[in-house]
Structure 1
């Protein structure tokens, strides 16, 4: 299956069957990434156009409006939210597991060397200035002795 995003950068499709999906994203300037979405992350595949809201509405028709079970409604909403948020939660969990990459480690070491270099530069300037002052004082002492 192929598709393009809309103006908001969104793309949606009906899941044909309950299997792991390999998503390949191709963006501008040669950027490309792919990842696998496990079948259990997107819940059940809808075989009919019914949704939890529609099924609740149908059950509400059978009973009076006052006898609608709020607990059932909350349960359905919780279930739908859990199903929709599962991929986001998994992504956050996976991101936390990853440690620093080699590039970040090398960059950190380079940053430390850079700070050390700046420190040594100012230290050598300070030592050089002290050396020039002592040479001037030494020359003045030699002139006084003569």
Structure 2
């Protein structure tokens, strides 16, 4: 009978651990995407900042899951494609085989062009510049400034995405060891009580 109780307790603990297990990060590929001029660039890597080389990348619209772009990463884990003209959010998925997979949702606001010359055809009739050369120069200047600002912001966005990733810390490891030691102590306590 004592063995039956111990077996039931052990099975209960195992079932509880399986039910509350966290996903394993060993098969996760981290991907980051950002707009750079007329292209969208992606960077894919494994844990430890190792580039995800020659991995399949697919770009699809979240609404209908239709694949819009497909390709593969280079030796540095990079992939680039032209911005879609129709807009909308994009799901960018990298798959390296053997269950190694990661995804990134790039919202339309993060890559759509909101510079004045991009929408100039919509407002041509409503605004008449003082001189055509001044309007062209202003639009060109705005475009150059927007491109340069985007180039400077892209590394910051990449760093923010890396900071947002959940990483295993020494505190997590010690906590996990303590958790298992606590379970072992609990089992030893019950075994001791049964022996009395």
Larger Rg: 1 or 2?
1
Q: Which has the higher strand share?
A: 2
Task: Tell me if TM exceeds 0.5.
Answer: no
**Greater RCO (Cα-Cα under 8 Å, separation 6 or more):** 2
TM-score band, normalised by shorter chain: 0.3 to 0.5
